[in-house]
């Protein structure tokens, strides 16, 4: 690296002007994000062509890079920190967690080992205990901090695979699948796509799964769950990604426990119901499972890159995920990489810890229950306007239809174009439906009413496209 570039970078570190620039741009963004169109305008999308260029031959200017990103990048974002994004199950962001991310980004901690970051190691242990308390999980549970629920589910099922094979006298790590005894994987046809992905990545093959039908709300049908035994891995769901429905954990976890089967619960956004006094009837029985995957970045509203795997059997998780190398020095303290597939890893526990500490038990309850209340409001107001609500709104998800599939699809497109709010579509019981996910702390009662009006206007446009062209 030339002395010139290095000198400039020392200057950037010392003078802080690039960070001031970033901060000013971020504040400018935050000031507009609550009111702006949720999806980028056509002009903003067209401006993305300004990023098309060859890889620069020479070093650039940090200020110009930031300015370009703010001028043309900020308008081409989806306004997810505002209160009217109801598309993917996302979550907004708690201010304190953003601030913590800024500070801890300066720390630039790599967190595989205690020796690479004592502060991360300590907070991983403390946060693990808090999560156990919050969800009423047993003392033996350990947590791994991963990028999201996709990865957390992969880890949970890897631990299950490890343990179940071990009981059959098979070491999957060294022996692999060739000649292995068969494990019995049981999952709902309504399992999330990332569950199928984990099953595929782990080599089970999705064709070898005992798929079980779901009921009209999207819950696994208890009467259809097959006989389980010590080779079984039963995958359940807290929060169906469409309807928000919860499986019957109480019945199925105790049945699985008696049979010696492993239960994994995909609770990406729904596990947080356990932290709400008025909603924890939905998660009754989860404490009898073996592993749980969930996100910080959805319901809890931390920034992205925050998933958690909790596993009752530390040995199984560590055996499934551990790595060795002459230079890797494990310690008596917590070495995070033993609980995750990654080695180098950003210090994602800081934001999770901050969110829990900031909200506290009562604040988490209020956040989670508030999302439910807003979803109920959405459903009630839409119903009053003649929209059809297709699910029991038990949590934060609302499935909406207006007349036939064609009108529903056209209405979704018109809502998205309006910029007033953003919702996506899905298929539900062979129908095209609008899928609403309320998952940001920033969503107010006014946001819901304003969004309902956007639904009404969009439906009118969809019913009468000619009227649309006249305007």
Ligand X SMILES: *Cc1c(COP(=O)(O)O)cnc(C)c1O
Binding stretches for ligand X (CB under 6 A): 89, 148-150, 192, 194, 239, 241, 266, 268-269, 295, 307
Nearest to 152 by CA among 329, 352, 333: 352
Nearer to ligand X, 231 or 243 (CB): 243
> Residue 89 Cβ, how far from ligand X at the closest point, in Å?
5
Nearer to ligand X, 150 or 162 (CB): 150
DSSP-derived letter for residue 190 is T
Q: Kindly state the tokens that stand for 430.
A: 């062979």
Asked whether 197 and 266 are in contact (CB, 8 A), the reply is: no
Nearer to ligand X, 264 or 319 (CB): 264
CA distance 305 to 348: 7
Q: Residue 212 is inside which H or E element, if any?
A: strand 210-212
DSSP class per residue in 368-381: HHHHHHHHHHHHHH
Nearer to ligand X, 89 or 393 (CB): 89
CA distance 44 to 77: 9
Residue nearest to ligand X (CB): 148
Nearer to ligand X, 75 or 307 (CB): 307
CA distance 285 to 253: 7
> Residue 91 Cβ, how far from ligand X at the closest point, in Å?
10
Asked whether 81 and 92 are in contact (CB, 8 A), the reply is: yes
Nearer to ligand X, 262 or 294 (CB): 294
Q: Kindly state the tokens that stand for 174.
A: 């060294």
> Residue 331 Cβ, how far from ligand X at the closest point, in Å?
29
Nearest to 415 by CA among 435, 394, 429: 435
CA distance 301 to 465: 38
CA distance 344 to 111: 6
DSSP-derived letter for residue 249 is H
> Residue 363 Cβ, how far from ligand X at the closest point, in Å?
22
Q: Kindly state the tokens that stand for 95.
A: 């201010």
> Residue 238 Cβ, how far from ligand X at the closest point, in Å?
8
Nearer to ligand X, 230 or 305 (CB): 305
DSSP class per residue in 396-441: SEEEEE-SSHHHHHHHHHHHHHHSS-B-EEEEETTEEEEEEE---T
Nearer to ligand X, 36 or 219 (CB): 219
Nearer to ligand X, 114 or 395 (CB): 395
> Residue 195 Cβ, how far from ligand X at the closest point, in Å?
7
Cα radius of gyration rounded to whole Å, the chain: 24
């Amino acid at each position: 690296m030339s002395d010139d570039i290095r000198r400039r970078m020392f200057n950037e570190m010392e003078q802080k002007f690039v960070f001031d620039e970033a901060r000013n741009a971020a504040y400018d963004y935050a000031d507009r994000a609550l009111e702006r169109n949720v999806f980028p305008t056509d002009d903003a999308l067209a401006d993305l062509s300004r990023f098309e260029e060859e890889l620069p031959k020479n070093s650039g200017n940090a200020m110009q890079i930031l300015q370009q990103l703010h001028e043309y990048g900020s308008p081409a974002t989806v306004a997810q920190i505002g209160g009217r994004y109801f598309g993917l199950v996302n979550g907004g962001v708690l201010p304190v967690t953003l601030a913590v991310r800024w500070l801890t980004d300066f720390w630039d901690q790599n967190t595989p080992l205690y020796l690479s970051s004592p502060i991360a190691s300590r907070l991983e242990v403390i946060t693990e205990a808090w999560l156990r308390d919050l969800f009423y999980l047993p003392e033996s549970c350990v947590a791994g901090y991963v990028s999201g629920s996709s990865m957390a589910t992969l880890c949970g099922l890897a631990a299950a695979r490890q343990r179940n094979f071990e009981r059959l006298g098979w070491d999957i790590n060294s022996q692999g699948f060739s000649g292995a005894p068969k494990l019995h994987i049981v999952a709902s046809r309504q399992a999330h796509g990332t569950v199928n992905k984990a099953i595929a990545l782990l080599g089970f093959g999705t064709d070898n799964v005992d798929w079980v039908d779901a009921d009209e709300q999207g819950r696994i049908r208890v009467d259809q769950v097959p006989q389980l035994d010590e080779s079984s891995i039963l995958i359940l769901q807290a929060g169906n990604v469409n309807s928000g429905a919860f499986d019957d954990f109480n019945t199925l976890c105790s049945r699985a426990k008696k049979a010696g089967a492993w239960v994994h619960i995909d609770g990406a956004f729904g596990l947080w119901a356990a932290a709400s006094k008025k909603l924890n009837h939905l998660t009754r029985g989860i404490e009898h499972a073996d592993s749980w995957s969930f996100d910080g970045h959805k319901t809890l509203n931390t920034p992205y890159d925050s998933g958690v795997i909790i596993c009752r059997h530390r040995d199984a998780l560590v055996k499934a995920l551990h790595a060795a190398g002459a230079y890797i020095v494990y310690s008596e303290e917590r070495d995070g990489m033993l609980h995750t597939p990654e080695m180098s890893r950003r210090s994602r526990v800081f934001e999770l810890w901050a969110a829990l500490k900031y909200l506290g038990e009562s604040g988490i309850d209020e956040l989670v229950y508030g999302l439910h209340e807003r979803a109920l409001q959405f459903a009630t107001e839409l119903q009053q306007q003649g929209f059809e609500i297709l699910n029991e709104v038990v949590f934060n998800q609302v499935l909406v239809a207006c007349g036939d599939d064609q009108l529903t699809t056209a209405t979704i497109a018109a809502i998205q174009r309006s910029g007033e709010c953003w919702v996506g579509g899905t298929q539900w019981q062979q129908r095209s439906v609008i899928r609403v996910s309320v998952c940001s702390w920033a969503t107010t009662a006014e946001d819901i009413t304003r969004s309902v009006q956007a639904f009404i206007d969009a439906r009118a446009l969809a019913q009468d496209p000619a009227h649309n062209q006249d305007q």
